[in-house]
Structure 1
């Protein structure tokens, strides 16, 4: 008899595991990574965004678990958020936003509702 109420994480698709839906949103971004000896800044382009995070193409090698500061231009304002790298490959990186304020979440929600 199994007590499991849902499939094991490994059998869920990436989209099923995601806590929030994302919408396509493409804009230049900047990442600031704390490195020994200073801060490394790199550029990229966002692919999608949600109140929980974003996907992007980035011109740098990132490490999963690394904390970064992400600067994203939104239609009516700019967002500067701390994020954790959750996925990193040569084709795409995924970021989870940390500690967004209610106002920042509302700014992202506004972008999502306009798509």
Structure 2
């Protein structure tokens, strides 16, 4: 169950990065709404990370949480913000995914 909580927390990390990107593109009061979304998703993400680390190893939990956030943010950047999807960028994201899976496999 705590792995699921950790994964959801990682997805909320992607959400707060998305809010930052949208705030950067926005102007006037809409920008502040995106910042409110950023703070809300940040609080949820951190709370879920805290909950998960009560039973999972801290190092593994943090690595998986940030890994989900990093991979998800790159994917959102490519598909939503039209960032480049170069070979090397995708290669290193793939190695990050393999590392996250590896940490999950070797953790008790």
TM-score, normalised on structure 1? Answer: 0.30
Please state which structure has a larger fraction of its residues in helix.
Answer: 2
Please state which structure has a larger fraction of its residues in strand.
Answer: 1
TM-score, normalised on structure 2? Answer: 0.31
